[in-house]
Every structure is written in structure tokens, then in C-alpha cells.
Amino acid sequence: MLRLSSSDGATIVPESLMSRNVAVRAYEEMRRCMEELTGIKFSVSMGGFRRVQPEELLSEFSRNEVVATLYSRMDSDFNFILHKVIVMSIDSAELIGTILLSKAGIEVSEESIEDALREFANIVIGAYASVLSRSFRGRFEYSIPEVVVDYDTAIITELVLPLAESSKEVVTHNVRIRSSEGDVSMEVLAMIA
């Protein structure tokens, strides 16, 4: 079993970073942040938590649909990089963007939706980084999230596969966010390099 060490000698097993338990705690923190930010009650459920080999990605996630993708790279004290990719339908992306914009009193436009999606990725990945920092007592810092709208096949081929090949394994799970404003579904992929 591979163990990674920080500069102060602390060690962790990389697989524990992508465990179901860590993900559940991160989504609970994301839910609380979203409620505080918007004043709307949300429920979050996670399903389909599994490990996928890189060669399975195209068949698993390519439906020849245009999707919104949020990507961030997380660096740590433990000498590895954790990549997080969030993929959602255009309808889900527009809904989450509209919820965040309307509560902030900002007019909905294509540009403002992209900014709102970047903020949503900050919330999701920030919650994940916070849970990891507390759980493993180390520094986990993430890059400003990128937002890409393209066909899912292009996203998998151009972004996810190169990351997955360096990590050899991808952890995926479905996340459903429900509120009185509507439901949002997303696939979350995590890879360690």
C-alpha cells in the first residue's frame, strides 16, 4: 500500500483521500455553504460511488451531449496532486447558475452563468479541500476552477483521459442536489497524480 508523506513526516494513504466517507462529508459542507449563501434549503445525495479504469471512461461518460465541466487541481503537503472534474448537463448548469445569481441579485447572462459556475466549483472543491485539511492535518490548496462547455466526448478525451492515465484510476460518483428551485445532477471524477 502506497503511503505519501508531508514535509513534517505525516503520512496518508492516497486512496483514503477519495473515500466515500470524505466525499459525503465534503458534500454536507457544500450543502451548508449553499444554504448560507442562498437562503434556500438543499438536500444532497451521493450515489454510484465507484472506481473506474481510464480505458472505461469513454464508454462510461460519453453520451454525445454538450455538458458543462468544472475542473480544478488540488495541491497538498503530501507530494501529490488531486484532480477534481465535475460534469453536468447544460440544464443543471443553468439551474445552479441561476440560483446563485438570483440570490446575489445579478442579471442572468451567458457570462454571469459561467462566473456563477466557477463560484459553485469553488464551493464544491473548497468544501472538499477543507474536509481533507481537517481530516489529514495538511495543506490542500486548489486552483481557480476552469469552466468548459463542450461535448462530453471531447471533455473526456482532451481533459480527463490525460489526467486519468497518469493516476491509473478514477473515482466517480453521482451527486444530486435538490431544492425548491429544482434538481441538479452532476458526475464528479477524482484522480490522484
Q: Is 21 helix (H, G, I), strand (E, B) or coil?
A: helix
154 contact partners, CB below 8 Å, separation of at least 6: none
The per-residue pLDDT for 56 is: 87
The CB-side HSE value for 48 (13 A sphere, CA atoms) comes to: 13
Rounded Cα distance between 71 and 181, Å, is 25
Whole-angstrom CA distances from 124 to 10, 13, 27, 129 are 26, 22, 7, 9
- Locate the domains of the chain by residue range: 9-192
- Determine the length of the chain: 193
The per-residue pLDDT for 15 is: 63
The per-residue pLDDT for 23 is: 92
Q: Tell me which fold the domain 9-192 belongs to.
A: Chemotaxis protein chec (3.40.1550)
Q: Does residue 29 carry a pLDDT above 70?
A: yes
Q: Does residue 6 carry a pLDDT above 50?
A: no
pLDDT top residue among 186 and 53? 186
pLDDT tens string 42-88: 999 998 888 888 888 888 888 889 999 999 999 988 778 899 999 99
Tell how far CA 176 is from the center of its chain. Answer: 12
Rounded Cα distance between 28 and 43, Å, is 9
pLDDT tens string 88-133: 999 999 999 999 998 878 888 888 999 999 999 999 999 999 999 8
Q: What is the mean pLDDT of residues 179-191?
A: 94
| pLDDT confidence tier of residue 4, bands split at 50, 70 and 90 | very low
The answer to whether 68 touches 93, Cβ cutoff 8 Å, is yes
pLDDT tens string 123-179: 999 999 999 988 888 888 999 999 999 999 999 999 998 888 887 678 999 999 999
pLDDT tens string 43-54: 999 988 888 888
- For 126, phi then psi, to 5°, come to -65, -40
